[in-house]
Amino acid sequence: MRLHVAVVGGSIGGITTALLLRDLGCDVHVYERSRSELDARGAGIAVLDATVRYFVERGGIDPDGFCSRTSAIRYLWRDGSCRHRIDHGYRFSSWNAIYRELLRLLDADRYHLGREMTAFADGPDGVRVTFADGGSTDVDLLVAADGINSITRGRLFPTATSAYSGYVAYRGTLAEKTLTGATFAELRDAITYQVITDSHILVYPIPGPGGTVVPGERLANFVWYRNVADGAPLDRLLAGRDGQERRVSVPPGMLADDAVDEFRDTARRELAPPIAEVVTGAETPFVQAVYDIEVSAMTAGRVAVLGDAAFAVRPHAAAGTAKAADDAWALADALRSHSGDVAASLAAWEDGQLTVGRRLLERCRDIGRRSQRDNAWDPADPSLIFGLHGPGR
Ligand SMILES: Cc1cc2nc3c(=O)[nH]c(=O)nc-3n(C[C@H](O)[C@H](O)[C@H](O)COP(=O)(O)OP(=O)(O)OC[C@H]3O[C@@H](n4cnc5c(N)ncnc54)[C@H](O)[C@@H]3O)c2cc1C
């Protein structure tokens, strides 16, 4: 299959797409706006099978080399006693580790940093993609994996909805080796939750510096969902210490001092001691606002939009990277089964992936409501298990 393909956005969705389309024989290139290799400092992620499918099925790489594993889900009460325990295994990693490992599998001359797409023109015979540096490329297929602020989505589907959920995630990490012995023992083999009024927090181990997954050398990672009203309160939080206007996140080290003081004080007052130890000890906490983004279509002409560029879902199913990867696998399958006929492939692909995105969005919205608004989060509820296609799947 000698299709020329441009993938815009060189993160997990974009690289997975490029690997799969390269394997089909396409001449595929990834264009990433960032000038240097990406670095989502400190962002731990729960890893579902779809995220690491390429490593397992094509790369011959065991994800356990860069993922930590836990065997239980535990809920704590405020006093630190165990509220509920489920024997259930999860795999965790850091966004950086997955990105680095994927990039290693892609030929260097197919990955172009510092190439920001500024425009595209779709015609019957191909798409012209134009970059901020004035260059352009002509391709048979444009795959937009340009994330939550996708300009492709904005141009193709201006009526797509983007709604702030009403809460943000405070996030951070602390080296396991700095934890007290009791806290390390408590957290080392579990994802540990605490449910608080209008809020919940989770802590899990992720690989340490250099990617080590040896217990004691990893990082304890927390994600704390807290309500922040839209408008001035959210704007103030996201402005950070340098007062910049931001819509999605405040990077590590850029939260304003009063915001850091406030969340550490609240942690001391409201969180179970082992969880509070991680939260108050994290040196460079950061914040991500949580959005629901929904499209009514994922293709237009010869353009396909995938991953967070299409549906950005609340993180409660831990399925964001899995969805991006699943979109990529489904696209490769569609191109293969339609022998590279772009129109037929995209039509078949869109049908299936719209359903995946809609179901996940609705499920995560519901979990978020139960936690952040209705206070109806039941630790024993099996529907809270992470999964892309449903709990545990
Ligand atoms: C609080 C929180 C917790 C999360 N937890 C998890 C979890 O546990 N597990 C999980 O799987 N997922 C999790 N996610 C979601 C996950 O991070 C995203 O779903 C995933 O990164 C989406 O990947 P993507 O490739 O679609 O987009 P992105 O990772 O957003 O990448 C988009 C890329 O496109 C580039 N780009 C943008 N515009 C242009 C342009 N014009 N030209 C060129 N390049 C461009 C950007 O620089 C970026 O590199 C979480 C998210 C949040 C907010």
Planar angle of CA 308, 221, 147, nearest 5 degrees: 10
Supply the residue whose CA is at minimum distance from atom 29 of ligand 1: 11
Q: Which amino acid is at 5?
A: V
Nearest CA-CA partner of 172 in 90, 62, 284: 284
Question: pLDDT band at 170, cuts 50/70/90?
Answer: very high
24 pLDDT more than 90: yes
For residue 308, how far is its CA from the centre of ligand 1 (angstroms)?
6
| CA–CA gap between residue 13 and residue 327 (Å, rounded) | 8
Q: Tens digits of per-residue pLDDT, 282-339?
A: 989 999 999 999 999 999 999 999 999 999 999 999 999 999 999 999 999 999 999 9
For residue 14, how far is its CA from the centre of ligand 1 (angstroms)?
10
Structural domains of the chain, with CATH: 4-59+96-161+293-373 (3.50.50.60), 63-92+163-290 (3.30.9.60)
Query: 63 CB under 6 A from ligand 1?
Result: no
**Mean pLDDT on 166-173:** 97
| Ligand 1 pocket mutation, candidates 12, 290, 371, criterion most atoms within 8 A of CB | 12
Q: Which of 36-45, 287-296, 366-375 bottoms out in mean pLDDT, i.e. has the lowest? A: 36-45
For residue 324, how far is its CA from the centre of ligand 1 (angstroms)?
9
Alpha helices in the chain (DSSP H): 12-24, 49-54, 95-105, 151-156, 181-187, 232-239, 257-270, 273-281, 320-337, 342-372
For residue 84, how far is its CA from the centre of ligand 1 (angstroms)?
32
In ligand 1, which atom is closest to the CA atom of 320?
19
SS3 272: coil
Query: 144 CB under 6 A from ligand 1?
Result: no
Query: 292 CB under 6 A from ligand 1?
Result: no
Query: 196 CB under 6 A from ligand 1?
Result: no
User: Tokens in use for 107?
Assistant: 């030929």
| CA–CA gap between residue 368 and residue 370 (Å, rounded) | 5
Cβ distance 2 to 27 under 8 Å? yes
Q: Tens digits of per-residue pLDDT, 341-366?
A: 999 999 999 999 999 999 999 999 99
Cβ distance 299 to 349 under 8 Å? yes
Q: Tens digits of per-residue pLDDT, 67-126?
A: 999 999 999 999 999 999 999 999 999 999 999 999 999 999 999 999 999 999 999 899
For residue 286, how far is its CA from the centre of ligand 1 (angstroms)?
16
For the chain, how far is it from start to end, CA to CA, in angstroms? 32
Supply the residue whose CA is at minimum distance from atom 26 of ligand 1: 307
**Count H helices, E strands: the chain?**
10, 18
For residue 243, how far is its CA from the centre of ligand 1 (angstroms)?
24
Cβ distance 254 to 237 under 8 Å? no
Query: 33 CB under 6 A from ligand 1?
Result: yes
Question: pLDDT band at 43, cuts 50/70/90?
Answer: confident
- Give me the chain's average pLDDT, please: 96
| CA–CA gap between residue 7 and residue 377 (Å, rounded) | 39
Query: 170 CB under 6 A from ligand 1?
Result: no
SS3 122: strand
For residue 269, how far is its CA from the centre of ligand 1 (angstroms)?
33
Query: 8 CB under 6 A from ligand 1?
Result: yes
Confidence (pLDDT) at 197 = 97
For residue 318, how far is its CA from the centre of ligand 1 (angstroms)?
12
Q: Tens digits of per-residue pLDDT, 186-244?
A: 999 999 999 999 999 999 999 998 889 999 999 999 999 999 999 999 999 999 999 99
Confidence (pLDDT) at 41 = 64
Got the DSSP string for 76-112? E-TTS-EEEEEEEEEEEEEHHHHHHHHHHHS-GGGEE
Planar angle of CA 302, 326, 310, nearest 5 degrees: 50
What percentage of the chain has pLDDT greater than the value 70? 99
Q: State the helix-helix crossing angle for 12-24 and 320-337, rounded to 10 degrees.
A: 20
Q: Is 35 exposed, middle or buried (0-12, 13-18, 19+ CB in 10 A)?
A: exposed
Question: pLDDT band at 161, cuts 50/70/90?
Answer: confident
In ligand 1, which atom is closest to the CA atom of 14?
25
Q: What DSSP state is assigned to residue 312?
A: B
Confidence (pLDDT) at 209 = 85
In ligand 1, which atom is closest to the CA atom of 152?
41
Q: Tens digits of per-residue pLDDT, 135-159?
A: 999 999 999 999 999 999 999 999 9
CA distances from 376 to 166, 257, 359 (A): 17, 33, 21
Q: What DSSP state is assigned to residue 73?
A: E
